[in-house]
Amino acid sequence: MSKSLFIIAIFSLIFSVNSFSQKRDLKKADEAYSIGEYKLAYEIYEKAFEKLTAKPDKAEVAFKLGECSRIMMNERKAAKWYKKATRYEIQYPKAWLYLADALRMLEKYDLAKEQYKKYQNLVPNDSRGKNGVKSCELAPLWKENPTRFTVNIAEDLNSKFSDFCPSYGKSKSEIYFSSTRESANGKNLSKITGQSYSDIFVATKDRKGKWSVPTPIEGEVNTEGSEGAAVVINNGSVMYFSMCKQTENANMGCKIYKSKNNASGWSAPEEVVLIGDSTVSYGHPAISEDELTMYFVSDSVPGVKGHGGYDIWYVTREKATAPWGKPKNAGSKINTKGDEKFPYLRKNGELYFSSNGLPGMGGLDIFKAKKNGTVWEVENMKFPINSSKDDFGITFYEDKNTGYLSSKRAKNINLFSFKMPDLIFTMKGVVEDANTGEKIADAKVKLTSPSGHEVEITSASDGTFMFNLNPNTDYSVIASKPKYLSAIIDRSTKGLNKSKTFDVILGLASIRNTFELPNIEYDLGKATLRPESMVSLDELVKILTVNSHITIELAANTDFRGSEESNQELSERRAKSVVDYLISKGIKADRLTAVGNGEKSPRRIVSNTKTGREILAKYKFLKPGDVLSEEFINNLETEEQKEICHQLNRRTEFRVLRDDYGINAVKFGE
């Protein structure tokens, strides 16, 4: 044999051995993958990947590495391998969907959005593509505008392993949860996480608010398998939970069990039969206090069509000792083609659950579902209850907006406490002279609401005052003092979901003043009020209503254009139109006197009044003390300046005639 042929033979042998070794490794990895041993499968696939040369093979293995990473909840590795799978032109459209999901969990929203759009093009009928795009748009906005909830890691309860699915016990000082920490019973490690199988733990809080070291619950609940997602009801006496039995080589599936608390701990679990087929797995119980309604999770219920992935189902019964009825799907408002898990039923009837199929921040998001008649209205709990990672397993303490949830937003799956701080609304104000700005002490300040709530205080020496306000309430605040017109301001806390301080100024004007009504407009040469005048007149109605003890004179003024006689007649009709409007709004006629000044009352610009200061600030060609007489206007430099002054002269004013109206009045016949 020639030397060259010998070398070729050697390389052929090496290639044949390597090829056989690769096939053997991939077969071993595929076997581990098929029975759910994802950690082992990942290790073998990763070593095999670098030795592969054919693009289809590399694409297939990269996709399976992505799947292992996704199931093991490692979004960073998942993104890496799904990206490789798409580059090698994998034939599975879900590679683009899962790549987008992983990128969203890493808060790379723009990149994730691109992948969701690619998936939309590949599978246009799957709502997950559309919802993913929407999620990438909403998540940053939710993070920039957080809800009122505050979320903090529960340091005392967590370990370096997974701690999740909390449930209150007999009080807010007792909490149950699942954990894979080293003190769990199981000797074997999970083939998915590499951690112990989960057990149910309990902790109690002392009077200083510190949780005890969590310990496995006493009794017969915890086994070599996996117990978790427990819900404790009836003052800590009954527990429903998931149990996934394990043998040395296989996961035997999950079922729901019930246990009772007694003197020796939790009793031996009794299986809760919800589905007749023993091969079907189901778990994550959520049950009403009367034990007549139960929600649970399964990826298949024989004879009933689901929506894809894991769905939430429910069963009911007539009494607590009766068997459960047939499972029903919770419906399309809740379930999607993605996964819906970890239901929690609150005492007020609200259903909470986690989903990765509805628009959310990333991974599993927690949602609230509330029934409107027979239809569920579903709402994302947003940031900070949700994060870009998996958030699930929420529990509330009674009817309070406080409780615990589990989340992977930190390094591990941990327990977090949450609460919604009380809304605090205050009104801080000052009473001052409307013309001079001087602060007014000892003014009466009254706060009222439609419910009849009423508080009255007096302003301090610097004119200030303060009220505490209630949520979802309309308020009026009125300031008054003798020889001043009372002032009123309306404020409302309705619809506000953040605490707020209302800063207000109540300007009291001396009844000796003449008050101009701004923006009273008429058509040229007519006395008919234009619609834009109504806003100012409605404010006057409010003033007269608050100051029910005054009578006023309403005076209309014209400019100098036109004859003196026609201007006089026009101003009288205009004043009367204002009076007629006020009467139509319920103001008594004997409180109103209409006067037409025609052109005989040119405006004088007074610098120490509010109106005067505003005019001087707006029109720089005018000076304090100017009287806008016909001679003054005719001597102005431009037509624009002349028109401005004519407009300033065309005004409607009122002044107080009496401030004792009705105070000493005698009813007719007395």
Per-residue pLDDT tens digits for 104-142: 999 999 999 999 999 999 999 999 999 999 999 999 999
Give the whole-angstrom CA distance, residue 504 versus residue 465.
10
Strand locations in 131-225, DSSP E?
150-153, 163-168, 174-179, 199-204, 215-216
pLDDT band for 635, please (50, 70, 90 cuts). Answer: very high
- The pLDDT assigned to 517 comes to 87
- The pLDDT assigned to 664 comes to 59
What is the mean predicted confidence (pLDDT) over 342-369?
96
- Find, among 119, 113, 100, 102, the residue nearest to 140 by Cα: 113
What is the mean predicted confidence (pLDDT) over 348-361?
96
Question: What DSSP letter does each residue of 96-136 carry, written as one string?
Answer: HHHHHHHHHHTT-HHHHHHHHHHHHHH-TT-HHHHHHHHHH
- The pLDDT assigned to 19 comes to 55
- The pLDDT assigned to 3 comes to 52
Per-residue pLDDT tens digits for 191-227: 677 778 899 999 999 999 899 999 999 999 999 889 9
pLDDT at 8 over 70: no
23 against 487, higher pLDDT = 487
Say yes or no: do domains 425-510 and 516-658 share a fold.
no
What is the mean predicted confidence (pLDDT) over 62-85?
95
pLDDT band for 404, please (50, 70, 90 cuts). Answer: very high
CATH superfamily of 425-510: Carboxypeptidase-like, regulatory domain (2.60.40.1120)
Helix (H, G, I), strand (E, B) or coil at 215: strand
Helix (H, G, I), strand (E, B) or coil at 639: helix
pLDDT at 188 over 80: no
Per-residue pLDDT tens digits for 259-305: 999 989 999 999 999 987 888 999 999 999 999 999 999 998 998 98
pLDDT at 667 over 70: no
Look at 26-40, 361-375, 418-432 and tell me which has the smallest mean pLDDT. Answer: 26-40
Give the whole-angstrom CA distance, residue 627 versus residue 80.
81
3-state secondary structure 311-367: EEEEEECCCCCCCCCCCEECCCCCCCCCCEEEEEECCCCCEEEEECCCCCCCCCEEE
**Residues in Cβ contact with 144 at an 8 Å cutoff, skipping those fewer than 6 apart:** none
Question: What DSSP letter does each residue of 412-453 carry, written as one string?
Answer: S-EEEEEE-PPP-EEEEEEEEETTT--B--S-EEEEE-TTS-
Per-residue pLDDT tens digits for 482-541: 999 999 999 999 999 889 999 999 999 998 888 888 888 777 678 888 888 888 899 899
Angle CA(604)–CA(608)–CA(612) in degrees, nearest 5? Answer: 45
| 8 Å CB contact between 285 and 277 | no
Average confidence score pLDDT of the chain: 90
Domain spans of the chain, in order of start:
151-345+404-419, 425-510, 516-658
Token pair 């720089």: residue: 620
Q: Name the percent of the chain lying above pLDDT 70.
A: 94
- Which overall architecture, per CATH, does domain 516-658 show? 2-Layer Sandwich (3.30)
Per-residue pLDDT tens digits for 148-176: 999 999 999 999 999 999 999 999 999 99
- The pLDDT assigned to 247 comes to 61
- Find, among 437, 501, 429, 439, the residue nearest to 465 by Cα: 429
Give the whole-angstrom CA distance, residue 585 versus residue 579.
10
pLDDT band for 94, please (50, 70, 90 cuts). Answer: very high
